[in-house]
Amino acid sequence: MTERTVEDSAQPATPAATSLGTRAARSIATTTKTPAQLSLTTPRWLLRLLPWVEVEAGTYRVNRCVAYAVGDGRITLLASGDGSRIMAEDMRELLALRDVMDLRLLEEVAGAFRTKHVVAGTILAEAGRPADGLYVVAHGQLERRGTGHYGEPTVLGIMGEEEFFDEEAALRGGDWPYTVVALTNSTLLVLDPDRLRQLEDEHPELARAFAQFRAGRESGGAGTPAAVASGHHGEAELPETFVDYDPQPREHELAVAQTVLRMHSRVSDLYNVPLNQHEEQLRLTVELILEQQERELLNDPEFGLLNNVAPAFRVRSRTGPPTPDDLDELLTVVWKQPAFFLAHPRAIGAFGRECTRRGVPPVIFEMYGSPFLSWRGVPLVPTDKIPVDPVESTSSILLLRVGEENRGVVGLRPDRLPHEHAPGIAVEPMGLDRRAVASHLVSSYFSTAVLVDDALGMLEQVQVAHYHQYA
| pLDDT (tens digit per residue) in 410-437 | 999 999 899 999 999 999 999 999 999 9
pLDDT tens-place string over residues 366-385: 999 999 999 999 999 999 99
In this prediction, residues 116-127 reach a mean pLDDT of 89
Residue 226 scores a pLDDT above 70: no
Share above pLDDT 90 across residues of the chain, in percent, rounded to a whole number: 46
Domain boundaries, the chain: 77-216, 252-463
Residue 8 scores a pLDDT above 80: no
Helix (H, G, I), strand (E, B) or coil at 11: coil
In this prediction, residues 142-148 reach a mean pLDDT of 87
pTM of the model: 0.77
Residue 297 scores a pLDDT above 90: yes
Residue 84 scores a pLDDT above 90: no
Q: Answer for the pair 440, 261: CB distance below 8 angstroms, yes or no.
A: yes
Q: What integer pLDDT is reported at residue 375 of this predicted model?
A: 95
**Distance separating alpha carbons of residues 338 and 358, to the nearest angstrom:** 24
In this prediction, residues 254-267 reach a mean pLDDT of 95
Q: What integer pLDDT is reported at residue 222 of this predicted model?
A: 39
Provide the 8-state DSSP code for 116: E
More confident call, 2 vs 354: 354
Residue 406 scores a pLDDT above 90: yes
Q: What are phi and psi of 256, to 5 degrees?
A: -135, 140
Q: What integer pLDDT is reported at residue 69 of this predicted model?
A: 46
55: closest CA among 401, 302, 444, 424? 424
Partnered with residue 378 across adjacent β-strands are: 375
Beta strands in 325-451 (DSSP E): 340-343, 363-367, 370-375, 378-382, 394-400, 409-414, 420-422, 425-432, 437-450
350: closest CA among 468, 456, 184, 469? 468
Q: What integer pLDDT is reported at residue 81 of this predicted model?
A: 58
Residue 355 scores a pLDDT above 80: yes
In this prediction, residues 327-333 reach a mean pLDDT of 94
Q: Answer for the pair 324, 375: CB distance below 8 angstroms, yes or no.
A: yes
In this prediction, residues 297-312 reach a mean pLDDT of 92
Q: How far is CA 276 from the centre of its chain?
A: 40
In this prediction, residues 9-22 reach a mean pLDDT of 77
Distances (CA, A) of 123 to 119, 132, 186, 284: 10, 12, 12, 58
Q: Around Cβ 349, how many Cβ atoms within 10 Å?
A: 16
Q: Answer for the pair 147, 92: CB distance below 8 angstroms, yes or no.
A: no
In this prediction, residues 264-277 reach a mean pLDDT of 91
In this prediction, residues 7-29 reach a mean pLDDT of 79
In this prediction, residues 109-132 reach a mean pLDDT of 88
Q: Does domain 77-216 have CATH number 3.40.960.10?
A: no
Residue 175 scores a pLDDT above 90: no
Which range, 11-25, 32-46, 209-223, 230-244, is most confident?
32-46
Q: What are phi and psi of 246, to 5 degrees?
A: -65, 120
Distances (CA, A) of 9 to 1, 14, 15, 68, 195: 13, 12, 15, 100, 106
Q: What integer pLDDT is reported at residue 57 of this predicted model?
A: 86
**How big, in percent rounded to 5, are the helix, strand and coil portions of the chain?**
30, 30, 40
Q: How far is CA 62 from the centre of its chain?
A: 20
List the single range of 97-106, 224-233, 444-453 with lowest mean pLDDT: 224-233
Q: What integer pLDDT is reported at residue 202 of this predicted model?
A: 85
User: What's the chain's length in residues?
Assistant: 471
131: closest CA among 167, 169, 182? 169
**Distance separating alpha carbons of residues 131 and 127, to the nearest angstrom:** 9
CB-count burial class (<10 Å; 0-12, 13-18, 19+) for 287: middle
- Extract long-range pairs of 309-314: CB within 8 Å, 24+ residues apart: 309/398, 309/456, 309/457, 309/458, 310/69, 310/453, 310/454, 310/456, 311/71, 311/72, 311/73, 311/74, 312/69, 312/73, 312/453, 313/453, 313/454, 313/456, 313/457, 313/458, 314/457, 314/458, 314/460
Residue 196 scores a pLDDT above 80: yes
Q: What integer pLDDT is reported at residue 317 of this predicted model?
A: 87
250: closest CA among 303, 309, 296, 300? 303
Residue 294 scores a pLDDT above 70: yes
Residue 407 scores a pLDDT above 90: yes
- Terminal-residue alpha carbon distance, the chain: 70
Q: Answer for the pair 174, 131: CB distance below 8 angstroms, yes or no.
A: yes
